[in-house]
Homo-oligomer: A and B are copies of this chain.
Amino acid sequence: MSFLDRIAECRRWAPDDYRPFTIDDRPLGRVSHDLARRLEDFPQVFRVSGRAVGLAPSLRGFTARTAAVAEVLHRLRDAGEIRRWRDEPYPVLQRWDETPLMIMERAAVPLFGLRAFGVHLNGYVRGPEGLSLWVGRRAANKATAPGKLDHLVAGGQPYGIGVTENLIKESAEEAGLPRELAARAVPVGLVSYRCAREEGLRDDVLFCFDLEVPADFVPENADGEVESFSLWPMARVMATIRDSDAFKFNVALVILDFAVRHGILGPDDAGYEEIIEGLRLTSDA
């Protein structure tokens, strides 16, 4: 089974390529050695040693940390060293229910290997032949993963909005889902992974939702980020995930979780336990 290849892609990173990033001596992320050397230029903000990068201890509290780091990040952006600036504030924390230690621009979060959160919606239809899943194709001009297959709705989880509220907002923007329909989405757990990507070290928790949509519902993209939507029988979805990397790397993971929860994979299938184990990290992984 090469479902496991999709999982392996979500777990590919080399610990030796990074040193820990700490706040108040608490390890929260990982910084590449190149970036660590660059951060030596900002000794008022970053305390860089050969073994770790820490926020300067003089930076105490949410506001001071946020402002000092933002100033450095703006300089790196202006020097062309941070691309795809998003202007989206992300909280710095290990679990979503914690008080954030500071805010950081989304584009910088993987550069520091910090945990990020997202929402993914499995929009499905239940028919006489079983389940079908709404699949989007990402626009060819999208900055990340152009042309890859995607969920009906998926997005990052910024600071200052609840997870469910964010899902409802993204559902309107990305697929034209009316609020009444999106509000029926059921939270069904999470997947998590850590992997090296072009944008840095992704350390993500994706909150997963299922939404059974009416058979006559047709999604409509409002923000130009999706080229087209189509409804795929689960057998086609699973074969595509097994045999190709046509789905965006983390979308494949969320769909494998969907397949486990809906009995499309079962305990008499080879690799069942290994697949389930691959869907989530533990805190010490």
Interface residues on A, range: 20 to 34
B residues within 8 A CB of A263?
Answer: 186-188
Tell me how many chains of this kind the complex includes. 2
Is the CB–CB distance between A260 and B97 below 8 Å? Answer: no
Q: Which residues of B contact A159 (CB under 8 A)?
A: none
Chain B's nearest CB lies how many Å from the CB of A212? Answer: 12
B276 touches A190 (CB 8 A): yes
Residues 234-275 of A contacting B (Cβ, < 8 Å): 260-263, 265-274
CB-CB under 8 A for A164 and B277, given A261-B261, A282-B285? no
Measured between beta carbons, the chain B residues less than 8 angstroms from A277 are 280, 282-283
- In angstroms, Cα B190 to Cα A189, docked, is 13
Query: Taking the complex as formed, is A207 at the interface, i.e. its CB lies under 8 A from any CB of chain B?
Result: yes
With A261-B261, A282-B282, A285-B282 given, is the CB distance from A189 to B268 under 8 Å? no
Please tell me if A154 contacts chain B, counting CB pairs below 8 Å: no
Q: How far is the CB of A201 from chain B (nearest CB, A)?
A: 19
| New contact pairs (20) apart from A97-B272, A162-B268, CB-CB < 8 Å | A96-B273, A97-B269, A97-B270, A97-B273, A163-B267, A163-B268, A186-B262, A186-B263, A187-B265, A187-B266, A188-B261, A189-B260, A189-B276, A190-B267, A190-B273, A205-B273, A207-B267, A276-B280, A280-B280, A282-B282
